[in-house]
Amino acid sequence: MAELILPRTDTPGATDVGTAEFIDLILTEWSEERERLGFLTGLAELDARMHALFGRDFIECSVQQQQECLAAMGERMTQNAESLRGHSRQLQEAVEADVHFYPTFRRLTLTAYYTSEAGATQALHYQIIPDRHDSCAEAGSVSQKTESR
C-alpha cells in the first residue's frame, strides 16, 4: 500500500526506504494498545472489503483494484476532514482515533518516507550541511532596501 502512495520514480519509492519496517516499529514500540488494535482492525476491514468486492485480499488484487480502493479511502478521508472543520480539536481527535485507518497509514507512510535519508535528500533535496554558505549581507545594503520600501 505504501508503494502505491509513494511509488518509485526517479527517486526511491516507499518500499525502498523501509516504510513497512518503520510502520511496524511505530506500531509495536510507540503506539498505545488502542491505536495498534485500531490499525490492525483497519487492515482486516480493508481485506474484508476487498474480498467482498473482488474475491481476494488486498495484496492479491490487481494494482488497478488496489489504486481504486486507496483513492476511495482518500476521498472519504478528505470528506471527513471537511465535515470536521470548525469543530473542537477534541472532537476531531476523537473521530480520528476511532475511525481513520487510512489517515494513520498515510501519515506513517509519509513520515517514514520523508524522514528517511533517501526521501529527505533525493525527494526533498534537504541538505544537513549545505554545500555552500551565503554570508550575511552588508549592513548598508539592508538599510537601503528598507528605506526604499
**CA-CA distances (angstroms) from residue 6 to 65, 68, 79?**
17, 15, 22
64 inside domain = yes
91 inside domain = yes
Q: Give how many domains the chain has, as a whole number.
A: 1
pLDDT score of 122:
85
Q: Which residues of the chain have pLDDT under 50?
A: 97-98, 142-149
pLDDT score of 18:
95
7 inside domain = no
pLDDT score of 98:
46
pLDDT score of 143:
46
pLDDT score of 126:
84
- Determine how many CB atoms are found less than 10 A away from the CB of residue 34: 10
pLDDT score of 128:
76
56 inside domain = yes
14 inside domain = no
**First-last CA distance in the chain:** 51
Reported as a single tens digit per residue, the pLDDT across 79-119 is 877 777 776 665 555 555 445 788 899 999 999 999 998 88
18 inside domain = no
| Segments forming the whole domain that contains residue 61 | 35-119
27 inside domain = no
pLDDT score of 142:
47
CA-CA-CA-CA dihedral for 83, 96, 104, 120, to nearest 10 = 70
